[in-house]
Structure 1
Amino acid sequence: MNDDRAHVQEFFTARAADWDSRFPDDGPAYAAAVAALGLREGDRVLDAGCGTGRALPPLRAAVGPSGVVLGADLTPAMLEAAVQAGRGRDGVLLRADVAALPLRSGCLDAVFAAGLLAHLPRPVADLRELARVVRPGGTLALFHPIGRAALAARQGRRITADDVRAESNLGPLLSRAGWRMTSYVDEDARFLARAVRED
């Protein structure tokens, strides 16, 4: 594992046990973001960087019992927290790096990724790997339960021009990775960018 990914794993291992209790009111925001993904009964979806699996219940509800829900995360402690929270019932949990997913090309209809973008050391290559596992025309949702300005304020920092989640940066980044951005929302209550897998 390279240093960047080891740092991510270390960061989340230290926070896994109390992650959900730190953000107890995020459930409705996750459900609304999943609804915006436009999933249908029987779809196959990945929660990339699933953490404690907060998106898995709404993803399962969206695709129904005939759908496939996968949750992939690099950090064993986060996956264990997902199991302890009972979210393993809503999807198959995989210990996997989103940069090298153990999935066939084009096997998914959609990818949901909450808070993932800021933790990708190689955003173009990593988003290209997400594109690889999605069929042409499939969708991607990059989500955070609060917007960029609110998150920066919470972390005691300022937004800079090179912020990867800025619309002017994110659109070209997604394009280089095989996606076309179709919508972008950045408000205090949520960040949600949606994209379609190009042919």
Structure 2
Amino acid sequence: MSEDRTHVQEFFTARAAGWDSRFPDDGPAYAAAVAELGLRAGDRVLDAGCGTGRALPPLRAAVGPSGVVLGADVTPAMLQAAVRAGRGRDGLLLVADVATLPLRSEALDAVFAAGLIAHLPDPAANLRELARVVRPGGRLALFHPIGRAALAARHGRQLTPDDLRAEPNLRPLLAGSGWRMTSYVDEDARFLVLADREG
């Protein structure tokens, strides 16, 4: 296991039990972001870095009973919290690293990733791996329930030009990883980037 992965696991294991209580009002923001992904009944979607599974209920509602919802996270304690919250009913939960997903190529219609991009040890390679498992024309949503400035303020930091999530940095990163950015929203109340899988 890489040092980066170990650090991420330790960080989230320590916070898993109380994670949802720290952000009790995020549900509508997740539902709104999922709606913008444009899923259809029967689609196959992955919640990458699903944490406690807050996106799983709206993802399940979007794809219906005939669809497939997967939730993957590298931290078992987060998946256990998802099960305790009753969200294991909405998707199949996998202990998996986005660096090497246990999925065949082009198996999915879409990937939803909330708060994931800041925790990727190798963003270009990890985004390429997400692209590998999505069919051409499929979609990616990179989401956070608050924008970059609000998140930086929450952590007592200033935004810097090298912030990975800044549009001038993220657009070419996505383009070099098999994705074409189609929209970029960075507001106080949400961060949402949508991209299409290049053919």
Unaligned runs of 5+ in 2: none
Q: Distance in 1 between matches of 2:144 and 2:80?
A: 22
Q: Deviations over 1:43-101 (max 9, x none)?
A: 00000000000000000000000000000000000000000000000000000001100
Q: Which residue in 1 is equivalent to 2:156?
A: 156
Shift in Å at residue 191 of structure 1? 0.1
SS at match of 1:14: helix
Question: How far apart are residue 5 of structure 1 and its match?
Answer: 0.8
Task: Report the counterpart of residue 76 of structure 1 in structure 2.
Answer: 76
Partners of 1:142 and 1:130 in 2: CA distance: 12
Q: Secondary structure of the residue that 2:15 maps to in structure 1?
A: coil
The residue identity in structure 2 corresponding to 1:101 is L
Residue 197 (structure 1) aligns with: 197
CA distances 1:106-162 after superposition (whole Å, capped 9, x unpaired): 000000000000000100000000000000000000000000000000010011111
C-alpha distance in 2, partners of 1:152/1:139?
A: 27
Distance 2:80 2:64 in 1: 24
Per-residue deviation, 1:171: 0.2
C-alpha distance in structure 2 between counterparts of 1:9 and 1:158, whole Å: 26
Give the corresponding residue for 2:124: 124
How many pairs are equivalent?
199
> Equivalent pairs: percent with the same residue?
83
Amino acid at match of 2:88: G
Matches within 5 A, 1:76-95: 76-95=76-95
Following TM superposition, the consecutive aligned residue runs of length 4 or more in structure 1 with deviations greater than 3 angstroms are none
The residue aligned with 1:183 is 183
Check if 1:51 corresponds to 2:51.
yes
Offset of residue 179 of structure 1: 0.2
Name the CA distance, whole Å, in 2 between partners of 1:182 and 1:9. Answer: 32
CA distance in 1, matches of 2:41, 2:68: 10
Residue 6 (structure 1) aligns with: 6
Whole-angstrom CA distance in 1 between matches of 2:30 and 2:131: 22
Counterpart CA distance in 2 for 1:89 and 1:76 is 17
Q: Cα RMSD over matched residues?
A: 0.3
Using the alignment, how far apart are the partners of 1:41 and 1:136 within structure 2?
A: 18
TM-score, length basis structure 2: 1.00
